[in-house]
Chains A and B, each alone.
Chain A
């Protein structure tokens, strides 16, 4: 059975070109980039070359980049650095739809730092977009840092990061963006956007897992998170993950090269898939703004069915997708993103995310368009709510779901 991989916001295939440039660093080129000898030095040069390629994709200076182990480490480093730089400021502005890397960190800061912090989690509109006026109102003299994602992982909705960063800058507040989903998919030019910190993750753009980058603008106060050796000019201890760094450099070079295809070819495939599903499946709704969105992502709710059951049926055909439903303990409610957008419960439990990449083909899109509609029909056939008059609450149920 062929795998039809449409879960690229979860992780991506490592590009064959990336694997190829990495291999020597797992065999003959095993030197430590910090070593004095020529053997290690050549590896150090490869790291710097990769740094240059990544900087050029972002419109940044090479020495503004710090290699980390993942996007989550970059997020933690940025936010904790800002709090340590301004210990008297105890307010953070973020959004209700952030990735857990930022959301859960912000919610644990009190325990972590031993100080009380005030966290403002900005609400979003029903299409997942942000209200700039509300954002501006939320900022105060106490605000240490703003952390807002560039693009949402579940819906692909893009926030107006440039405007938000300008507003923060004008108020003297540090600005961090989790750009893990945006880098490589939409053009980013940090020479034009006054961001202080930006996080990216290799495995979301066809580099391997286990490599991330934190961009720190020159002049931004910085306190390291991982303390150790003098690597990264003392900003992040630990011997460099050389092969992955070289791979990420190549992946960024490819991303720059394929940016046009991402926004034309991939977008066309996504639109065909999305339009086809919405047209053939009744009671299906698009989650997220139609245009202010990543070109590769679509998130659709199929009312009266449960997402995980859909995923299992898709899996039988080798189709990989993901869902905003949560049928496991601890998080039995649909995703925090769906809830923040106010997606009705009838639809939130049946949301499916399909995220494409340059490796998807039109045949694959046609395959999903052929297989998915009968799955929804079959599940609805066994759903007690489908065709029933009293949608929503049934019988003796006492379910109140008072929590929003």
Chain B
């Protein structure tokens, strides 16, 4: 491991910083620009991170040396990964960090605001904006949320933003093809779920239970958990657990959602 261009440039013309100690990796890029033709005369870096982060930083500086700023602005994370002969997919975020540091350094030199910082922060753990995520999806043709995490780190922390990532992914993939939004059965809202559960209970379950002098009431729906209360004869029946699992749960799984779990509330 012999990274090139390590260090800082004291009188740098442009400096780009991305990441932080807390995030687990960070890169500070220094540029010296030849004002006569806008060419990058010198590029150095300091990196805190794993070997892939260090290698990506080194590759970035090697790629951009001698390029004009306009040429450098076109360098993508894939160029950095290619220069290294490829990166494992879970390390792709290291190449994305390199590209973002480059953008930040160019913006700093030109006195412009950071383009990607404008967006809405989606992943709070790693401070990733929707603009960064959308660009990564588009440029790298990402297909899954896991790939988004590989490339941008978004969603790799507490995981709270995973639903939002799924949404962004669907939006991004729909746009170019103009597909009409479909109602996937697995993505029912809680309200829809409650409605359909109540329908099935009313239509099929209650009449059957009432024959035996029992009844059932829907108490709550929490994710896949359906909390119900058995009434009347069912409340004291020893077989009520079997009824819940073998009959009620089975009916609801068949007709509403096959991941539902029926539980008795206290």
Contact = CB atoms under 8 A, between A and B. Distances in A.
Interface residues of A, number: 44
A313 B127 contact: no
Interface string A110-143: 1100111000000000000000000000000000
Contacts of B225: 110, 116
A381 B1 CA distance: 14
Given A329-B153, A384-B28, A304 B21 contact: yes
Given A383-B47, A398-B117, A402-B124, A329 B146 contact: yes
Given A396-B17, A402-B125, A309 B54 contact: yes
Interface string B110-132: 00001001000100111101000
Interface string A365-399: 00000000000000001111100000111111111
Contacts of B24: 306, 325-327, 332-334, 345, 349
A383 B27 CA distance: 8
B198 to A, nearest CB: 21
Nearest to A392: B21
B46 A328 contact: no
Contacts of B157: 332-333, 401, 403
B18 interface: yes
A114 to B, nearest CB: 5
A37 interface: no
B18 A396 contact: yes
A345 B51 contact: no
B114 A394 contact: no
B219 interface: no
A312 interface: yes
Nearest to B263: A116
Interface in B245-266: 245, 249, 261, 263
Given A312-B1, A396-B104, A327 B28 contact: no
B49 A398 contact: no
B6 interface: yes
Nearest to B19: A397
Contacts of B66: none
Contacts of B158: 402-403
A316 B20 CA distance: 27
Interface residues of B, number: 53
A65 to B, nearest CB: 34
Contacts of A309: 49-51, 53-54
A252 to B, nearest CB: 38
A330 interface: yes
Nearest to B88: A328
A305 interface: yes
Contacts of A397: 17-20, 23, 26, 127
B90 interface: yes
A349 B23 CA distance: 9
A140 to B, nearest CB: 15
B95 interface: no
B52 interface: yes
B19 A399 contact: yes
A400 interface: yes
Contacts of A114: 245, 249, 261
Contact of A383 (B23, B48, B91, B261): B48
Nearest to B52: A327
A403 B160 contact: yes
Interface in A62-112: 110-111
B50 A306 contact: yes
Interface in A331-349: 331-334, 345-346, 349
9 contacts: A111-B261, A330-B156, A332-B157, A397-B26, A399-B20, A399-B127, A400-B121, A400-B124, A400-B125
Interface of A: 110-111, 114-116, 304-306, 308-309, 312-313, 316, 325-334, 345-346, 349, 381-385, 391-403
